[in-house]
Structures are given as structure tokens and as C-alpha cells.
Structure 1
């Protein structure tokens, strides 16, 4: 609950507060994509692409 202003009006910030204890964590949300659901070839391709991009950054920084 958001505390009231002494002037009597409330300040809403556009987000919802909810309470849950340690025994009930947030429920899982569906991810739009997951690296764990990719096949091995796709994972390897993604890893190579990320590696190439990072090496590109290193190469540009050393120029």
C-alpha cells in the first residue's frame, strides 16, 4: 500500500503491488525464446556469432 500524503491525496505510480511469502515465489513466465530449447547446431551458431562480435569489438579497440 502506498502511504497517503498528509494533504489527503494519494500518489499512484502506475504499478501494482502484491505480496507473497518465501513459500510462494513468483510463478514462471513463458519466455519468448530460450537457449535451452535451441538445438545443438543453433547453439553453436549463436555462440560463434557472439564470439565473432566480441572479437570484432576487441579488434576495433586495438586499431
Structure 2
């Protein structure tokens, strides 16, 4: 039995861009940025994330 047939589905999926195909996307305003944080704040955030991940590992191994 031969099941080789092409599926030429066109769902009309288009993207409306407001810039040309060769230009990059325009910048968007970010509510926060890790680049705007101070070094101490970044280190603190990294410690919190690390502690949370270690807690997940610790709970998984129990």
C-alpha cells in the first residue's frame, strides 16, 4: 500500500512586520534588565537562583 502523498496545507499564517526584511526588529522597552542591575544585585540574584536549583536537586534526591 502506497501512502506517499504530499500535504500542501496552507493555513494562511502570515506575519505582519513593520520593518523591512533586511533591517532588524525595532528595540522594545524592557521593564527590567540584568544589564541595569548593579554587580552586587546580580550576584545576589545568582545566589538565590543557585540556592533554588540546589533545593530542587536536594528534594529530588530524598
Q: Calculate the TM-score normalised by the size of structure 2.
A: 0.69
Across the aligned residues of Structure 1 and Structure 2, the Cα RMSD in angstroms comes to 2.2
4+ runs deviating over 6 angstroms: none
* Structure 2: gaps spanning 5 or more residues: 1-10
Query: Aligned pairs, how many?
Result: 50
* Structure 1: gaps spanning 5 or more residues: 4-15
Q: Calculate the TM-score normalised by the size of structure 1.
A: 0.68
Instruction: Tell me how far 1:18 sits from its aligned partner.
Output: 2.4
